Amino acid sequence: MLKYYREIAIGVVPVLLLFLLLRGVNIVPFILISLFAAAFLYTAKGGRGNLTAAAGKRSRRANLPAPLSFEQIGGQERAKQELIESLDFLVKQEEIAKLGIRPMKGILLTGPPGTGKTLLAKAAAHYTDSVYMAASGSEFVEMYVGVGAGRVRDLFKDARQKAEKEGKSSAVIFIDEIDVIGGKRDGGQHREYDQTLNQLLTEMDGIHTSESPRILLMAATNRKEMLDSALTRPGRFDRHIGVDLPDKKGRHHILAIHAKNKPLAEGINLEKIAEESFGFSGAQLESVMNEAAIYAMREQSAAIQQSHLSMAIDKVMMGEKTDRESTKEERERVALHELGHAITAELVNPGSVSQVALSPRGQALGYVRHNPQEDRYLYTREFLNNQIMVALGGAAAEELFYGDRSTGSRGDFDTAMSIVRTMVESGLTELGIIDNHMMTPDSWAKVNKSILDELMLRTKGLLQAQRDVFLRSLDILVKEETLSGEQFRKLISEAGSLQSV
């Protein structure tokens, strides 16, 4: 019927325009209105969506991933084991049919950025010998209603067709940043978002699960709490796999993987680099190895030295060195500030300082790199108090030597108040177990002042007895700009002033 009306319009409109032209009527406005109406109807009926989806199809096919196995991914042993177990439901279809196991429809990967969620999805496609298609959540968002839903349908349709063409029994679709289209529905007027999410729910809802090839949807997000409950329920995303930051063993594995194609000097200790890179993601560790190779190239070195790796950690953590020039008084103040952090850290946790540096990096005029002895996932009140004292050590040192503070302590105070918030929310303060949503700004100000003032007095008391260490370390730090942890501990030992808390 629509085609019939279109043919009538094609025949009638030119005749009508010609008649008006012969009568002397200006037909230019009519032509413009007709063109605008045709463009609007074409877009509303999905023409734009079809064109964009076709372009997306071409880009997805042009950017096929290289085969990637789970052995090539380091630092995620638990996540890999759980994922492989989930994928076996797709690989061993005869066994799961005998046991009456329902085919898995979706796997949700959650965790911080750079931990390898996309790599795990590629490895999953390789492990299951499936067709792999990837898209980002933003590719489905459009201001025109219905376009996003059409793109979802096209993505699943393309995956099935491609699997059939290549003779595969399954296809893996990976959607990165799925929270863009899978966010909680609030009943507002975002019809395009709702229709896109509804279409995705429909595709996962079991309509096509009996068909071959099977479709496994994998998705990644950094904000699982933002997803709609209809999307995360069993029967849609059946497995939720956390992809966390790697521990020390995992970091060493990741560094070893990225070091395979790089010339390393004899005696390189990757385990030490794994210790110093606490809290780094897999992407950051890859950047460390890459930056170390760049430092080696700058110095025209044939192999990567331990010093290059150490400098690379500083760059990834703090940024590149800057050319800021400061006065002698400012350099001494910065040096005393950083020594305050370092001495406090050594007093509350001996052996934790890896390096004290006076060279400016990023926005910092100096910094202390800490070397945690072991990864921690649970924190006691005493440990958090010690961390606050380390953060306050710089300001305390400035007050002891200059009688006042500088703006260089602003970031340290932010860190200290963040730790106080963690303590309050964990019930580790005198307030006891409370709901942090009941805390008013005045309440937060009072608890911050109470805890920070007490710990500042304790920190000043510790540093007051270490003036000899300050003065001995200051001369070396100002001249050489860096002080290694071993040198620093030797100075403390020679001063005979190491005290336990």
CA pair distance 212, 170, nearest whole angstrom: 7
How many other β-carbons are positioned within 10 Å of the β-carbon of residue 240?
A: 15
CA pair distance 264, 479, nearest whole angstrom: 31
3-class DSSP assignment, residue 172? strand
Sheet containing 367-370: order of strands: 367-370, 353-357, 482-484
482: left (phi over 0), alpha (psi -120 to 50) or beta: beta
Read off the tokens for 426.
Answer: 């964990």
Dihedrals phi, psi of 252, to nearest 5 degrees = -65, -40
User: CA nearest 283: which of 259, 315, 241, 255?
Assistant: 255
CA pair distance 322, 291, nearest whole angstrom: 16
Q: Looking at the DSSP assignment, which residues form a beta bridge with residue 227? A: 183
Measure Cα distances from 301 to 143, 311, 392 in Å. 54, 15, 40
CA pair distance 240, 246, nearest whole angstrom: 18
Contact 184, 228 (CB under 8 A): yes
Cis peptide before 246 (omega within 30 of 0): no
CA pair distance 139, 142, nearest whole angstrom: 8
DSSP 65-127: PPP--GGG--S-HHHHHHHHHHHHHHH-HHHHHHTTPPPP-EEEEE-STTSSHHHHHHHHHHH
CA pair distance 24, 18, nearest whole angstrom: 10
Catalytic residue among 338, 346, 398, 399: 338
CA pair distance 471, 452, nearest whole angstrom: 27
Contact 74, 253 (CB under 8 A): yes
Active site residue 374: no
Catalytic residue set: 338
